[in-house]
Structure 1
Amino acid sequence: MLLLCYRDAAYIRAALAGAFAQTVPCEIIVSNDSSDDGTYEIAREVVAAYRGIHDVSVRRTPRNLGVAAHFNDAMALARGEIVVMMAGDDIAYPERVATILRAFEEAPEAMVLGSDFDCIDADGARIDIRFRRRPERYQIDYYVRIGRLIGLLGATLAFRREVYDRFGPLLGPIEDNALSLRGALLGQSLCLRQPLLQYRRHPGSVSGCVFARDEAPEVAVRRRYERTVRFYRGTADDLEHCMGQMPELRGRALRDARNVLAMYRIEADAREAILREKRRHWLGPVLRGLLQPGLRRKSAERALKLLMPRRWFGLHHA
């Protein structure tokens, strides 16, 4: 288990309790990305007092690395054949690891796995949210069929270590889409219908920061566009790198992978054009999207924005 934390002082004790409650003996690596709020010190105190079935270590990075680079740094220490992701603000249910191991055993062709979850707020109160359920089993063509660039939720992820070892450190700023696509390249993806953790939504969470969910409306849209452009480009870079390491990728699988790569590139270009360019420069990405399997509907909707004032969808000229 990789328990990655950053500025989680208010939540780390509950996260560690969830990790320690797992019914299968685990190597638990608690890694703090050099936060300045006492998270690391609390984790050290809790781990020092732990007596149980798990092999637990706690460490911190020499400097703040960011999400994907922190993952790469911690992943170099992991020894297990199955890697289960945890965040310092979420709470795993006791059966999470046992359920994941059983699912991988029953599906030897599966390389990456996610699950349903229960959502809570900063105080632990239940939040009802809508989220798109993935099929229970799917491959990389799924991303083209649904026309959406959404991987498995990083907080619920587990994967065979080949997903990392085959291709090396992740590129880009965020880990979940990159790992989701790597797993889909190598084999099947699983999404378990059983909620295996409490996923916490709060202003300081990674998803809140990346997608600017909790920022003021006048800045949220612009920042979300800027961050999404970086996120899409980084994910595309990682996918392209992985494809280059797979000479055996041919036929339909290669075509599907190329389509997903094009979707990420076009979406990044389209969002950057809307954010920074005059309207005539929007046409290129829109036209490419209309011709691209997986993006035709979204690009048709985007074409309508050519007729609308930019302020109608939350953006103003820089």
Structure 2
Amino acid sequence: MNDMGALATLPAAEFSAAASLAPPLPAPPPASTPRVSILLLCYRDAAYIRAAIDSAFAQTVACEIIISNDCSDDGTFELAVEQVAAYRGPHQVSVRRTASNRGVTAHFNEVMALASGDIIVMMAGDDIAYPQRVATILDAFGRAPQAMVLGSDFDGIDTDGSPVRISFRQRPERYEFDYYVRIGRLIGLLGATLAFRRCVFDRFGPLLGPIEDNALSLRGALLGQSLCLRQPLIQYRRHSGSVSGTVFARDEPREVAMRRRYERTVQFYRGTADDLDACLRQIPDLPAKKRRLAEQVLAMYRIEAQAREAILLQPRWRWIGPVMRGLAQRGLRRKSAERALKLLIPRAWFGLR
């Protein structure tokens, strides 16, 4: 194996540790079993990365495991290198880091180019997967040929790994376009729980936008089904440095949290809309009903981005256009009616200055 110190200094350092001396824990999968790639993406996760990697090693199905650090400066990469160097087991493991900080989606796109699996399982450097996670995912895909993307329930933990209740709207078992229109909310599967067939990426190319979970959920609905398993398959860690905490400004001071949440949500909605729009253009033969519903969801994302941007940056009379488009759009009528009331009250009353 190459010198570890030299590896740690390379901009995009990478090495592999294959199955070797210890008796294998999981049996190699049969030839007919889809090959699985676990993408363990991490950034500033030094306090949690060892537990995350251990949970990947504990999977009961032999996998390709790619541990990729998005060029953080807190020692996460060095800890991962050390842990992989000591690994002896059945999984094919590699660890790398990006040459510069990419951000969530660009990092994901870069690592997807390295993965060889038919099934891609997402992991974060601050979460813990239960040992049966991959086996359960493979079984679910086998029982549901139309399923393209799978998420799951989860158990919440805090920074110390203690159980914590995490408020998350009840997730349906099927994420189809009519669901988004029916409930009027643009919430997809939780990214930390996602697994998907490789064609979800290869069919359409790299993801657009800043966040991967809604884009993958919608791609799965385009190609077949996106499903949520009722079984908790991970321990999902909530802390101030997590991706969700950063995107939605949950732990920032109240006087800045709402503005930043609006700014980030505008980017998130617009990027997801761009990805869905690009995917729709690549499926000219999509069934008419599904296309109609997908276009309604696309319109919902566009209108929500426009409305939040107008509230954030524009005088009140400029809010009227997005509000009126929302009132005319199935799925957004109630939210747009509520938003129309904001025309009558001071901005500070709903958290903006």
State TM-score, norm by structure 2. Answer: 0.89
Aligned to 1:274: 311
1:217 — aligned with what? Answer: 254
- Deviation of 1:252 (Å): 0.8
Question: More displaced, 122-131 or 152-161?
Answer: 122-131
Spell out the pairing of 1:4-153 with structure 2 (5 A cutoff). 4-153=41-190
Look up the SS of the partner of 2:100 in the other structure: coil
The 8 Å contact of residues 175 and 217 in structure 2, kept in 1 or not, is answered as no
In 2, distance between residues paired with 1:140 and 1:228? Answer: 20
Q: How big is the shift at 1:130?
A: 2.4
Larger gyration radius, structure 1 or structure 2: 2
Query: Separation in 1 of the partners of 2:277 and 2:39?
Result: 26
TM-score, normalised with respect to structure 1: 0.98
Tell me by how many angstroms 1:162 deviates. 0.5
Mapped pair 1:262 → 2:299: yes
Residue 212 of structure 2 is matched in structure 1 by 175
Output the CA distance in 2 between the equivalents of 1:42 and 1:245. 42
Equivalenced residue count is 316
Write the mapping of 1:232-311 to structure 2, written as runs, cut at 5 A.
232-311=269-348
Superposed displacement of residue 137, structure 1? 2.6
Give the structure 2 partner of residue 3 of structure 1. 40
Unaligned stretches of 5+ in structure 2? 1-37
CA distance in 1, matches of 2:48, 2:166: 21
For residues 243-302 of structure 1, the C-alpha deviation after alignment (integer angstroms, 9 at most, x for no partner) is 011011131100001000000000000000111111111110000000001111111111
Query: For 1:138 and 1:31, how far apart are their aligned partners in 2?
Result: 29
2:227 matched to 1:199? no
Unaligned runs of 5+ in 1: none
Structure 1 residue aligned with 2:201, among 164, 185, 189? 164
State the percentage of identical aligned residues: 77
3-state SS in 1 of match to 2:209: coil
Report if aligned partners of 2:105, 2:212 keep a CA contact under 8 Å in 1: yes
Aligned partner letter, 2:53: L
Off by >4 Å, runs of 4+ in structure 1:
none
Taking only aligned residues, the RMSD between alpha carbons, in angstroms, comes to 0.7
Q: How many Å apart are 1:306 and its aligned residue?
A: 1.1
